[in-house]
Amino acid sequence: MKLIIDDAHIDQIKKIYEFYPVDGVTTNPTILAKSGRQPYDVLKEIREFIGAEAELHVQVIARTAEGMMEDAHRIRKELGENTYVKIPSVQEGFKAMKLLHNDGVNITATAIYTPMQAFLAAKSGAAYAAPYINRIDNMGYNGIQVARHIHDIFRNNALKTEVLAASFKNSQQLLELCEYGVGAATVSPDVIFGLVKNQAITSAVDDFIADFEKLVGAGKTMKDC
């Protein structure tokens, strides 16, 4: 499963890239608005940092298929042809997906709440389909189960589309989808930083160091022996 950062703050992205094995960055209009900066200024900074080959997912804003296509071509012009264009999984979106897929555009189908949306997006040429795990939970359904169901639909119908699970509230949700083998998950920095934030882990490391220092002296490590 690919692990992707769901954020647009370059300082957070750089910090996560320093420590964790991540595969790219996803953004959406709300995330970009929270940055308080002009969209392409933020996105170009991210693209420059992560490199031309890393995954960067950027969402269209237009409501019509024609407008979505115009947004998509501008996004790719500014950020590179490897950029994944996020298209909402609605009627106009499916039309845009089909046309963009024929043009060789990488498509991420977004705003997915139901397996049927994901199936139609996959049939329309989307490379990824992004179900919103926590938002589905908040509607009274099981977001993890919906994502698994979508994954199974893709495999059972020989569709190449992968699940890009989004909207997580905790590491347990991420773990369950990792165990199931979905294609990717995009996760906010606070959840990523919490993946190994555990007092038992910290205590174990502290105990090892304390025992070693009793043997060789405070502040010493293996290089000092």
pLDDT tens digit string along 52-75? 999 999 999 999 999 999 999 999
**Phi, psi for 221 (deg, rounded to 5):** -125, -175
Q: How far apart are CA 8 and CA 163, in angstroms?
A: 21
Please say whether the dihedral angle defined by the alpha carbons of residues 51, 52, 57 and 62, taken in this order, is positive or negative. Answer: positive
Topology classification of domain 2-188: TIM Barrel (3.20.20)
Instruction: From the candidates 15, 86, 197, 214, give the one annotated as an active-site residue.
Output: 86
Reported pTM: 0.91
Give the helix/strand (H/E) hosting 84.
strand 84-88
pLDDT tens string 99-150? 999 999 999 999 999 999 999 999 999 999 999 999 999 999 999 999 999 9
- Higher pLDDT pick, 171 / 116: 116
Q: How far is CA 45 from CA 40, 52, 74, 78, 214, in A?
A: 8, 12, 16, 11, 47
Q: How far apart are CA 53 and CA 192, in angstroms?
A: 22
pLDDT given for residue 1 in this prediction:
95
- In the block, tokens 């994944």 appear at 84
Query: Confidence class of residue 194 from pLDDT cuts 50, 70 and 90?
Result: confident
Complete DSSP assignment for 148-168: HHHHHHHHHTT---EEEEB--
Token readout for 34 is 């929270």
Query: Confidence class of residue 83 from pLDDT cuts 50, 70 and 90?
Result: very high
Q: Mark whether 197 is an active-site residue.
A: no
